[in-house]
Amino acid sequence: MLVAALFLAAVSCKDEEETETLPELSGLRFDCPSFVAPGQAVRMTPRGVEHPEGLPVGYAWKVTPTMSTFDTTDVYVHWFSDTLQTYTVSCYAFAEGYYSSSVSREVAVVKGGLDGSITKTGIRSSDKKITVDGVDYYYQKIGGLDWFRNNLASKSCGTPYANLDVMTDVFGRFYNYNEAMTACPDGWRLPTEDDWMSLAEAIGSPVSEKYAPFDDVASKLLVNAAFNGVSILEYWPVVGDVTNSSRLSMVPFGYANLGNMNSDGKFTNPSFDGVFEYVAMWTADKVNGEEGMAYYRYMISDQPEMLVGKGDMNTFGASVRCVRDAQ
């Protein structure tokens, strides 16, 4: 109770600024994953704050909207609920005679599958699918090919969003070119540019040459999905009326800059960009005359076309949609 009283007193000091100016504790930080599984426990340790006079510093924690009161403890363990939503974790450092300082982190509880974080995909549990390593891959026949309707999520290789395994079944994984060429299940393959052109023709946007834009196809390829109940395509007005008429249910999960690979095959410090603003899908075609480069197909929020880009085969990470000859 005494610790709690000290914390509340430290917080209230800011209301008395007119009569007294106090120094403020600074440097507070703590690590916390951005995404967790339902019911996951996370241990959080504050660091970076040192009392100028070498005296003890107290800490208080609050997770909203879960908690209505503070928990005063140095190391804090929070069990996140099963509700798929975003939570705010706040840590406060306090000491008598000092303003308290605080820092917050957002944490989303996520889940894969049709009843998980990504909803309104247009995919039903009764649709055609294969199951590989416990993951359901739904597929659609378009022209003479069967196409995956959700991103490849093989854990044999690739990198999950935010480098957190819990995101594998939500976004699928990001693969460099060499991983993408071998990651599809038996009987399936990475689509070539010819396969992508066949797709474009089948959905009404034929092209006469390779690596040309597919005009006005974004609305046919994208689906107006939601992430934890929040619409993903809210800022895609140029695309027009999103119909997902192709039934490929593409969602803009961005791309990855993978960086260097460790000896164990893991990337040391990958970064992720374009989430909910960018779709990037590998082709199997290498770039002639540019060693170490391969083509990928992409869509971006301010254009209605599907365009083509060149990515470094080792360090660029894109999503994968596998194909096979139609069964």
Q: What is the pLDDT of residue 97?
A: 86
- Looking at residue 130, the DSSP 8-state letter turns out to be E
Q: Are 214 and 182 in contact (CB under 8 A)?
A: no
% of the chain exceeding 90 in pLDDT: 81
- Looking at residue 163, the DSSP 8-state letter turns out to be G
pLDDT at 38 over 90: yes
173-228: pLDDT as tens digits: 999 999 999 999 999 999 999 999 999 999 999 998 999 999 999 999 999 999 99
Query: Phi and psi dihedrals of 5, rounded to 5?
Result: -65, -40
Q: Strand 129-132 and strand 135-142: pairing?
A: antiparallel
* Two structure tokens written together for 32: 């916390």
* Two structure tokens written together for 154: 């093989």
Confidence class of residue 13 from pLDDT cuts 50, 70 and 90? very low
What value does the mean pLDDT take over residues 80-92? 97
3-state secondary structure of 35: strand
**Residue 187, C-beta contacts closer than 8 angstroms, at least 6 positions apart:** 324
Q: Are 206 and 181 in contact (CB under 8 A)?
A: no
Which residue is listed with tokens 């820092």? 103
Helices (H), the chain: 2-12, 168-171, 177-183, 193-202, 218-221
What span, in angstroms and rounded, lies between the C-alpha atoms of 199 and 192? 11
Q: What is the pLDDT of residue 9?
A: 46
Please state the pTM of the whole predicted model.
0.90
Of 49, 43, 45, give the one whose Cα is nearest residue 79. 43
What span, in angstroms and rounded, lies between the C-alpha atoms of 217 and 242? 10
**Residue 63, C-beta contacts closer than 8 angstroms, at least 6 positions apart:** 78, 87, 88, 89, 90
What value does the mean pLDDT take over residues 101-129? 97
Confidence class of residue 12 from pLDDT cuts 50, 70 and 90? very low
3-state secondary structure of 189: strand
CATH architecture type of domain 2-109: Sandwich (2.60)
Burial bucket for residue 74 (CB in 10 Å: 0-12, 13-18, 19+)? exposed
What span, in angstroms and rounded, lies between the C-alpha atoms of 149 and 124? 11
Confidence class of residue 20 from pLDDT cuts 50, 70 and 90? low
Domain ranges of the chain: 2-109, 118-325
What span, in angstroms and rounded, lies between the C-alpha atoms of 256 and 265? 16
Confidence class of residue 260 from pLDDT cuts 50, 70 and 90? confident
- Looking at residue 55, the DSSP 8-state letter turns out to be -
3-state secondary structure of 200: helix
**Cα 158 to the chain's mean position, in Å?**
14
